[in-house]
Amino acid sequence: MIIAKQKRKENIAEYLLYLWQVEDMIRAAKFDIETINSAIIERCETDNETKAEMHDWYESLIKMMELEHIREGGHLQICKNVLIRLTDLHLQLLQSDKFPEYTAEFYRTLPFIVELRAKSNDTDRAGELETCFNALYGVLMLRLQGKAVTPGTEQAIQQISRFIGMLAAYFKKDELKPLFDDQEIETT
């Protein structure tokens, strides 16, 4: 909860990856709030009021995951909404002639996206951004498990990270002061 709030303010991409990690952690705890309480919440060096807020946050995520029928896999609607917002901004940036550096970074990343889709036999037809986030999350999980990453994968992840980092920076700017006015959005 504390980390999620901080990441949401600072970097939307890290926030999304963090929420995916929390979803998996909840699944690993078999949706048991007491397991989460003893493994995570009680180990935090914070006051009881914050621990109670954390407990409520995890409990609400558990309920949402159950209501949204994503016990075995998939992502919360709040995660999907973030991805939708990022995709909308991504498309606006690509359609605008004001952000050529973004378009160039995307086209440097696109071959890696295509290769990842081919390797994963992407039957869900995930969007370009979701493919990027899946790759970033997959490598994060491999590293947490102490597993090696091939040089080719490392190269892809570095490029994807640069691209997603640029998108996250534009997202933050857009939240502070919209990058596009309503007329621009309608004409693109």
User: Tell me, what's the pLDDT at 188?
Assistant: 44
Number of domains in the chain: 2
CB neighbour list of residue 20: distance below 8 Å, 6 or more residues apart: 75, 79, 133, 137
User: Is residue 77, in this structure, part of any structural domain at all?
Assistant: no
Q: Which two tokens stand for residue 95?
A: 């359609």
pLDDT in tens, the chain (188 residues): 778 888 889 999 999 999 999 999 999 999 999 999 999 999 999 999 999 999 999 999 999 999 999 999 999 999 999 999 999 999 999 999 999 999 999 999 999 999 998 887 655 567 999 999 999 999 999 999 999 999 999 999 999 999 999 999 999 999 999 999 865 544 44
- The CA angle 129-133-139, to the nearest 5 degrees, is 145
Choose one of 35, 67, 99: the last residue of a domain.
Answer: 67
Residue 86: give the domain boundaries.
82-187
Task: Give the C-alpha separation, 113 to 156, whole Å.
Answer: 8
Q: Are residues 91 and 166 in the same domain?
A: yes
Which pLDDT score is estimated for 187? 43
User: Which positions ≥6 away from 156 have C-beta within 8 Å?
Assistant: 112, 115, 116, 135
What does DSSP assign to residue 44?
Answer: S
Question: Is residue 76 included in any domain, yes or no?
Answer: no
- Which of 26, 44, 45 is CA-nearest to residue 36? 26
182 plus 125 within the same structural domain? yes
Same domain for 26 and 113: no
